[in-house]
Chains A and B, each alone.
Chain A
Amino acid sequence: MVTAISDEMFSGEAITDPYSYYGRIRDEDPVHWNEKYELWVITRHDDLVWMTRHHELFSSEFWSRDKRSPYPAIDESDLGLYQFMREFFMKWFIQHDRPVHTDQRKVVHKWFNPASMETWRPMVQQVVKDMLDEADEDGRMDVMKDFATPLPLFVIAQMMGMPFEDRKFIRSMAEKLLFIGRGEADRMQPLTDGIKELMEYLSPLVAQKVDLPVDENDLLSVLASGEKTGALTRDEVIADAILLLLAGHETTINLICNGTLAFTQHPDQWKLLKEAPFQDPDTVVRATEECLRYDPPVKSIQRIASEDVEMGGKLLKEGDRIRWFMSSANRDPAKHENPDTFDISRWPNTHVAFGSGIHHCLGATLARMEAQEAFKALAGRYDSISLETDEYEYQPSVTFRSLKSLPVSLK
């Protein structure tokens, strides 16, 4: 019997195995109207790239333009909190179109360029070494809790000049903000609590930086310089600081965790990484790109149609919500040979884990560098990394591909 495509994106099935769920949509109805949540689901590689490159048709001003009610539904008493959240997210530079987006991105764009990121590599190598030295003492670790989370959190906090002892607080607030991709009806309370506490935490720090001359080594100082040039208001500086803190570590956590999981499930690829034959580009670079393709940290991104657009025989109307799925595009057989095979020698690897076009991930080079150092160090140290349990669970998020934990033993 042929069953209709279920529109429950938060079902256990779709959360555990998005590749089957969105893969079926890609095969059967690649530009799919999800009736339940009233949004377009975009699943093909070529469609996704075309849309990212036509930013004038698909607006990033999601939170200011979306006229429909919240999805999934929230408690009615939380509509005030929903409004507060929207007004906060509207201030993020990524929630703008050109020309505002370009002016605001430029405040920090240079800071993230490849040469600038390279200067941080030795620091990342040292942090990776320290963390794995500690794990060695026990012969095991929870990759999520003991490695994948503290590493990028340490790095972004260091880049933004946050005091060492504040990292725990930053992470617990970030966890509240991650409710953005979730479906619980009561999610507005933790989400807005996280926003408010981070605003309170960052306000005095930002005020300090605005008063001082720009310190080119300090990301928060560079961001705050946007207020002096008029590119950003004070509220926008604070909102973008929260964005950089959050996006600067959550995604990389998932990249390291999902990649490590893939290696435990594919011993032949682990062996290949360990042998690391000399290539150009080298094996670690290729392996990291394949981890990004095979199980990307961010599953989907949302936009809103700026005008009526026809795609694949469907009419996307002005004001319609859109979600494009990198996790599905990265497994599109029209783009990738044997898309469901984890193959670290795959090259070139034209995945869209970082999106494409003018909104291509600002921190892509940083994420790549951290993951390269993490995988290189793991492969250099351990003959085998094996799962301690077959039962691993994912956060019920439609945005992030995020494991709850990943306990492994190290040999």
Chain B
Amino acid sequence: MPRKVRVSVDLDICVGNAMCETYAPKVFVLNDDRQSTVADPNADTFENIMEAAQDCPVSAITVIDDETGESLFP
């Protein structure tokens, strides 16, 4: 079973760098303001989601283990 996660993006921080969209395009989708929003948090691989979170230049992405509630990023 692949790991299930909850993902969120803080729109007060997001600068629309959109690297997350290139790592995990089914999870991160840009809204009308060209900021990142979460479509389906489990539509891309766990590795790609974590990479998107780690490489966000302003650390706007939070990843939580859906089962245990453990914070996976930051």
Contacts and interface: CB of A to CB of B under 8 A. Distances in A.
Size bracket, chain A contacts: 20 to 34
A91 B54 CA distance: 28
A358 B18 contact: yes
Contact of B16 (A102, A112, A356, A365): A356
A109 B12 contact: no
Interface residues of B, number: 16
A52 B16 contact: yes
Given A54-B34, A110-B55, A112-B57, A360 B22 contact: no
Given A113-B57, A115-B54, A53 B22 contact: no
Contacts of A365: 57
Interface in A224-259: none
A122 interface: no
A364 interface: yes
B15 interface: yes
A102 B22 contact: yes
A360 B16 contact: yes
Contacts of B54: 110, 113, 115
B57 A357 contact: no
B47 interface: no
Nearest to B34: A53
A277 interface: no
Contacts of B57: 112-114, 360, 362, 364-365
Nearest to B54: A113
Contacts of A213: none
Contact of B55 (A102, A113, A356, A364): A113
Question: Does more than half of chain B's interface fall in helix, strand or loop, or is it mixed?
Answer: loop
A88 B34 CA distance: 31
B17 to A, nearest CB: 5
Contact of A53 (B33, B51, B58, B59): B33
Contacts, number: 46
A105 B19 CA distance: 10
A290 to B, nearest CB: 17
Contact of A357 (B34, B56, B58): B34
A312 interface: no
B3 to A, nearest CB: 20
A356 B59 CA distance: 14
A348 interface: yes
Nearest to B33: A53
Residue among B15, B19, B56, B58 with the highest chain A CB neighbour number at 10 A:
B15
Contacts of B18: 357-358
A358 B55 contact: no
Given A113-B54, A114-B59, 9 more contacts: A102-B19, A106-B19, A113-B57, A114-B57, A114-B58, A357-B18, A360-B17, A364-B57, A364-B58
Q: When A and B form their complex, which 4 residue pairs have the shortest distance between CB atoms, in order from nearest?
A: A53-B34, A360-B17, A113-B55, A357-B16
17 contacts: A53-B16, A53-B34, A102-B19, A110-B51, A114-B56, A114-B59, A115-B54, A348-B12, A354-B15, A356-B15, A357-B16, A358-B18, A360-B15, A360-B16, A360-B17, A360-B57, A360-B58
